[in-house]
Structure 1
């Protein structure tokens, strides 16, 4: 087998491969002999068909099959011989594809970039520290109560935080527009669910009252046909209900699966969950800073094949998340290219850090992480056992732990500043970078 390689770009390789005719004929004959053992030809017993008849009937298909298999086999033989690491399937172009002659074809493909991860010392990380104070716990209990609020009908004018049951019809330029009407809708005033001015216009309304609201759709409204346009809504208020917060009692505690522990026991469980959330939030913010630093310090070219695969993966995830009657490939690729590139580059960088430092998942940390996740459930032992019986789930945890070990490796050389903050600041999600 003859192989020559041409570098057509930083990552693209054009490889010419020649396969001797003798190897091709050997593969063709092997397939014809296999066919002869099972072929059913009128006038002959199975296995007794003359090879001349077998060759006449089946040689073309056997040759096509042999050539396909040989191209696949010789391509991988060639990349091993040339010590290349393809980043995707090759595009194959035959040069000589004739019976009795050597097979010659060209395989064009991309390779993974070769690089050494650098710049750990240039990465700046602000590591937050915080505690769950009693005031934070009290605030969380109020949040839980509000999340479980009940509404009871009242005979008075509506105020913010009241829930209204309404019917409404919306018009633009005097015409009813699609999606602008509804009946029996439950709306909490002040929730910001409707466009600006709609909820404010219903403050003070009573059950049985009808109001006409004149509002303007925001300029950035998702329906471009309505964005920036004036609209008139005729709204009938069917009922007004006031919020009632539940008491912190056993019935309330039972909703969260916490029984017979009383208020102090419930507070202890909530505090435990808040502390777990706090640890994860701090860990995530440190990790994000490390990954941002690695990206900035290691600009690398991305193989198009990997980028396309990641874009397609993100398309599928978007369809699964948001549903709708749409196929993944109908979503524009440019919507996902920036995120896909970041994920691919980080994947390459993290893999290189793992390789360079010979990192392997710390099984003690794997068990600790599983136990941490399991502690949020009523039967944590069963959750731990489930993970260790499911290889796929267990390997996902191992991957997360390995990524944490990469972060730890970077932090040993990065510039780290510790900062004490409040619980609220520590758990607040980091602001996403603004797009141009």
Structure 2
């Protein structure tokens, strides 16, 4: 077997492999002999077909079969011989000429890039730090009250925060347009659901009043044929309701599963959940900052094959997240995110190899137990992961990423950045 490699554009390589014709011929002959013992053709008894007839009929087919088998066998041997690591499945260009005694092919593929990691000693990582304040708990309780608010009718002029029931007709150049006419439309003033000026124009209106609003559609706008155009809305106010927030009492907390109505215990539970969320957000934000630093410090030439594969994966993940079905999302819309994922995957892999990082068994177990804690039967979840090496490897991968983050925080310059709970969770 003769192997030669030619560098193409970027990471592309063209590896030509010339196979020994004698080996191919010998294997074809062996298969012909085997075929001769069982071949059935019209006019001949089984196993009595002359070799000349078999050669005429099966010679080309058998050469193709033997060639395909030898390609499969020789390809990875040649890659190892040349110390090449393909980034995707090679494309095979056959060069088979039996009459000339030539059995060869060219494998076209991209190689994995070589990465020399940049030093990080002079890099700055802004690490978010935060503590849960009493005011954060108060804000959360207020948010929970708002989630359970009711609307009560009022006899006064409309003001911000009210919910209005309105009928309106919109016209552009004196003509009604699709979607511009609605009845009994519920609108919370200050929500920003409608175009600029619409909600503001209803402040101070009373039930039964009709107001004419001369406005302009934003540019750009989702309906392109309306973008930037002047529009007139005639709006009739049918009713006004104001929000009524429930008191934080025994009845209120029972809505959240606190059967005995203990308000203080409920607040303590909410605080613990917020502290857990705060810790998770801080960890995730810190990891994001470290990844940003590594990505920026290490420009990597990316194999197109890996990007294409990641784009397809992200499109499928989004399709599943949206409920599956027949909807197909174009992979191209995920190109930017796919490039970042591929680059970080390659960079993290190099960090792990350079520093001989292995997943800490204690951290792996801690991670699995933390994930299992939210289930009714935690031990079953732990057994689920530890009962299958592939499932456990996904957790080990996450742990190694955490260990990379720890290593970067040790090697780089770290500046703490105070953040509030609201900033971290918005």
TM-score (norm 2): 0.86
After superposition, the C-alpha distances for 1:92-144 in whole angstroms (9 at most, x for unaligned) are 33344435623122222110011232322122122233221212111111011
Alignment partner, residue 177 of structure 1: 177
Look up the SS of the partner of 2:135 in the other structure: helix
Alpha-carbon distance in structure 2 between the residues aligned to 1:48 and 1:259: 88
After superposition, the C-alpha distances for 1:245-296 in whole angstroms (9 at most, x for unaligned) are 1222344324333433611111111111111121122212221221122122
Question: Structure 1 pair 37/344, CA: closer, same or farther in 2 (3 Å)?
Answer: farther
After superposition, the C-alpha distances for 1:372-400 in whole angstroms (9 at most, x for unaligned) are 44555676566556655677665433322
Look up the SS of the partner of 2:228 in the other structure: coil
The correspondence for 1:357, drawn from 350, 355, 358, is 355
Alignment partner, residue 338 of structure 1: 336
Alignment partner, residue 199 of structure 1: 199
Alignment partner, residue 329 of structure 2: 328
Alpha-carbon distance in structure 2 between the residues aligned to 1:353 and 1:268: 42
When Rg is computed on C-alpha atoms for both structures, the one with the higher figure is: 2
What RMSD in Å do the two structures reach over aligned CA positions? 3.3
Alignment partner, residue 399 of structure 2: 401
Question: Structure 1 pair 43/339, CA: closer, same or farther in 2 (3 Å)?
Answer: same
Alignment partner, residue 288 of structure 1: 288
Contiguous gaps of at least 5 residues in structure 1:
430-436
Superposed, 1:22-421 pairs within 5 Å as 22-26=22-26, 28=28, 57-98=57-98, 101-260=101-260, 262-319=262-319, 327-329=328-330, 333=332, 335-375=333-373, 394-421=392-419
| 1:81 shift after superposition | 1.4
| 1:404 shift after superposition | 0.8
Alpha-carbon distance in structure 2 between the residues aligned to 1:125 and 1:65: 58
Question: Structure 1 pair 29/316, CA: closer, same or farther in 2 (3 Å)?
Answer: farther
Look up the SS of the partner of 1:191 in the other structure: coil
Look up the SS of the partner of 1:185 in the other structure: strand
Alignment partner, residue 432 of structure 1: none
Question: Structure 1 pair 252/415, CA: closer, same or farther in 2 (3 Å)?
Answer: same
Alpha-carbon distance in structure 2 between the residues aligned to 1:399 and 1:375: 20
Contiguous gaps of at least 5 residues in structure 2:
none
Alpha-carbon distance in structure 2 between the residues aligned to 1:279 and 1:140: 17
Question: Structure 1 pair 20/386, CA: closer, same or farther in 2 (3 Å)?
Answer: closer
Which stretch of structure 1 is more off in the superposition, 345-354 or 413-422? Answer: 413-422
Question: Structure 1 pair 239/31, CA: closer, same or farther in 2 (3 Å)?
Answer: farther
Alignment partner, residue 17 of structure 1: 17
Work out the number of aligned pairs and report it.
Answer: 425
Which stretch of structure 1 is more off in the superposition, 63-72 or 398-407? Answer: 63-72
Alpha-carbon distance in structure 2 between the residues aligned to 1:315 and 1:272: 36
Contact conserved, 1:211 with 1:236, CA < 8 A, in 2?
yes
Contact conserved, 2:127 with 2:289, CA < 8 A, in 1?
no
TM-score (norm 1): 0.84
Contact conserved, 2:95 with 2:102, CA < 8 A, in 1?
no
